[in-house]
Structure 1
Amino acid sequence: APQSIIPYFPVVESFAILSTMTDKDAEKTKEKEGADSKGGDLTFVSFAEKHSLLVNSLIKHDPSCLEENFKILLKHPLLIEFENKCCYFRARISKGNDDHHHGSLRICVRRDCVFEDSFHQLRHRTADEMHGRLNVQFQGEDGVDAGGLTREWYQVMSRAIFKEELALFTSGGNGITFQPNPNSMIQNEGVDHLQYFKFVGRFVAKALVDGQILDAYFTRSLYKHLLGEPLSYEDIEAVDPDYFKNLKWMLENDIEGVLDLTFTAETDFFDKKDTVELKPGGSTIAVTNSNKAEYVNLIAKHRMTNAIELQIKAFLEGFWEIVGKDLLEIFNDNELELLISGLPEIDIFDLKANTEYVGYFSNSPIIKWFWEILVDLSKEDKARLLQFCTGTSKVPLEGFKALQGVSGPQKFQIHKAYGEPTLLPTAHTCFNQLDLVESYTSKEQMKERLLKALHLGSEGFGFV
């Protein structure tokens, strides 16, 4: 924290303590009088909203205050910067490890069978043992693991879990993010496929415990499952962009006499098709304009959850054995991806060189402001922008010229939008598209609108 703000720490801390005491007294009064009594007009939470930079700088100066006098902010995680959330998470993990003595966790694996060997050597380890210090040896290779071999094992493993021959995961519409394969039971290694999913969940959680970054990116719906957050039909875009467009069209248009649907879904297991009801009696209930919203939510839930429910459950069981669900509560789904996969190195000049404009030109004032704003963004906010526009923070290995869209290679696009300057920027992740209204009156106003969109996660798919 800048030295100039440190003198404010005891004052702000005292206010936090006093505010907490006032809130508790107000609650007691409320219980006694049964009225809508309120505490002081200025609570610590409202103070933190108005002075977010100051409060987060103080947290950075003394991270332990989040476990003590600033604890109330944990109930308002939007007010805490991602870096401070990470420090809090690491401190909780470290404290848990300090409270227990963990021995060494030794494994010896064949490089070409790293997943299978790791699975068999770690599957019966207890959750407590999985917190031990990993010591990796690659069979037939020299080298003592002083940390480098462990890092390499995590990288090799994070690619191995997505191998096609394992059939555990399928890629989403962008070819970059993955979700459980509904037909994962086809693998015939003599192991229940759900045991594999539980192991993958433990592996991802173990990486978090060890502070290791994984080259593994999952669909938005899986991150939400880990956080216990509800899914929305928009989340299916990362799984099947074309299907998402069909659902979106249904919601926006009159379907009476156009679509002949019932509350059922078709399953496909190796060309063996079957029909399941989305709700009791669904096969006899027609989809109409009045109930189409319910249908869209149920069919999306089926595609993202019901069809892979057992796989998700096994993955979550393994993950939560190692990292408790409560430790993730302060993160949202975008932040969880960054926690697992790290903040990417984003070359703004490479992105700019591979950007297409629709309605704007490269020398349009809005476009000039946009690139000036991007250069000044923090590493975290650059990653949020990539998530906002493409659905993931992963940067293609070949650079932004290799960015993928719904129909193959698709460069980053900035489209002109129309409306009041109060509107937030919106995104269409299946097209790597950002919509900016032309009515912003200054770079500062545009930056404020853009940052609000990134931090609120208001991916609008054209809606505001």
Structure 2
Amino acid sequence: DKSAYVCKLSDGAISWLPASEGVVQSNLRDTQGRELFNFADIASAQKKSFNEKSAWFKAVCNHLLADWSDGHIQFNIRSDHLLQDSVQSVMGLPKSDLRKIWRFQFIGNRAIDAGGLKREWFEQVTSKIFDPDVGLWQTSVSNQGCLQIQSASAATLSDDDHLMYYRFTGRVLGKALLDGEHVTKRMVPYMYKYLLGWPVTFADLRLHDNIYYNSLQHFKGMDDVSMLCQTFVTTEDIFGDKQDTELVPGGSSVDV
């Protein structure tokens, strides 16, 4: 598919590459530097049943986790400032601490975390971060049971803050996978393709907005689109404020 692209992250900046140029890191090492799996192991795992894949994945995660003797992380969270305290605490950790055991204490709650408070934290913080009212995620137009990135997130939070919250979301989801914690919120399917480094194609637009996808499909079948007087500009509704964005430099002057 000539319209297939993969996402490349370099020095915090995201760019898009044709799928034929994409490279995915296919090996992983544990805390001691020992190789846990490589491309051949992944290819072999693809042939397994779902239950076997799940068991293989959990085994890999267990090897990645640091021992209690290597240190653990204690979070002290205010229930009425759950998201702010969590973001500050998690984003202040170096990458190596993401593999350590996390324990939680809700200030004012004398309960000792033997696993229950951690599950409660994951449940509450993911419910909060994915709440459309926060302004980071919104329900999918095509599937109300899934969430997609809110394109106007910078309008609800400052330019720097909204990106930090997305990085926080990534750390929380990664830790949930590592620790085997359940997250009830679901993202649109193409988000998982981003995370896995799979090519994103034009067909994935249908999962984002089926009406928009069908409109573009109609354009593809037209012999002459000049009669539509379209330019390379898209109009976004930012909480009631219509804003035009050029898709290419000088797009407002470029006919489709």
Query: Quick one: which of 188, 208, 219 aligns to 1:219?
Result: 188
Inter-partner Cα distance in structure 2 for 1:180 and 1:167? 9
Once the two structures are superposed, what CA deviation does each residue of 1:267-310 show, in whole Å capped at 9, x if it has no partner?
A: 454525223134x66555543xxxxxxxxxxxxxxxxxxxxxxx
Once the two structures are superposed, what CA deviation does each residue of 1:234-274 show, in whole Å capped at 9, x if it has no partner?
A: 22233222212222333345554663323333345452522
TM-superposed deviation, 1:207: 0.5
- 2:149 is equivalent to residue 180 of structure 1: yes
SS at match of 1:107: strand
Once the two structures are superposed, what CA deviation does each residue of 1:107-142 show, in whole Å capped at 9, x if it has no partner?
A: 122334321221122221111112221212223234
TM-superposed deviation, 1:149: 1.5
TM-score computed with the length of structure 1 as normaliser: 0.42
CA contact (8 A) 1:171 1:179 kept: yes
- 2:103 is equivalent to residue 138 of structure 1: no
TM-superposed deviation, 1:102: 3.7
Q: 1:262 to 1:93 in 2, by over 3 A?
A: same
TM-superposed deviation, 1:211: 0.7
TM-score computed with the length of structure 2 as normaliser: 0.72
Inter-partner Cα distance in structure 2 for 1:155 and 1:250? 44
Q: 1:150 to 1:277 in 2, by over 3 A?
A: closer
- 2:232 is equivalent to residue 263 of structure 1: yes
Once the two structures are superposed, what CA deviation does each residue of 1:53-104 show, in whole Å capped at 9, x if it has no partner?
A: xxxxxxxxxxxxx969xx8462365423232222222222222335895422
Q: 1:78 to 1:104 in 2, by over 3 A?
A: closer
Q: 1:256 to 1:179 in 2, by over 3 A?
A: closer
User: Unpaired segments of 5 or more residues in structure 1?
Assistant: 1-65, 288-464
Q: 1:250 to 1:100 in 2, by over 3 A?
A: farther
The one-letter amino acid paired with 2:87 is: F
Q: 1:218 to 1:190 in 2, by over 3 A?
A: closer
Q: Which has the larger radius of gyration?
A: 1
The one-letter amino acid paired with 1:277 is: L
Residue 177 of structure 2 is matched in structure 1 by 208
Once the two structures are superposed, what CA deviation does each residue of 1:175-224 show, in whole Å capped at 9, x if it has no partner?
A: 22122222212345897221111111101101011111101211222111
Q: Which has the higher strand share?
A: 2
Query: Quick one: which of 246, 253, 256 aligns to 1:276?
Result: 246
SS at match of 1:215: coil
The one-letter amino acid paired with 1:275 is: T
Q: Which moved more, 1:236-245 or 1:252-261?
A: 252-261
SS at match of 1:154: helix
Q: 1:266 to 1:67 in 2, by over 3 A?
A: closer
Residue 60 of structure 2 is matched in structure 1 by 92
SS at match of 1:116: helix
Number of aligned residue pairs: give it.
219
CA contact (8 A) 2:66 2:101 kept: no
Residue 167 of structure 1 is matched in structure 2 by 135
The one-letter amino acid paired with 2:73 is: L
Q: 1:112 to 1:241 in 2, by over 3 A?
A: farther
Q: Which has the higher helix share?
A: 1
SS at match of 1:275: strand
Higher relative contact order (CA 8 A, sep 6+): 2
CA contact (8 A) 1:169 1:179 kept: yes
User: Unpaired segments of 5 or more residues in structure 2?
Assistant: 1-35
CA contact (8 A) 1:267 1:276 kept: no
Superposed CA RMSD in Å reads 3.0
SS at match of 2:195: helix
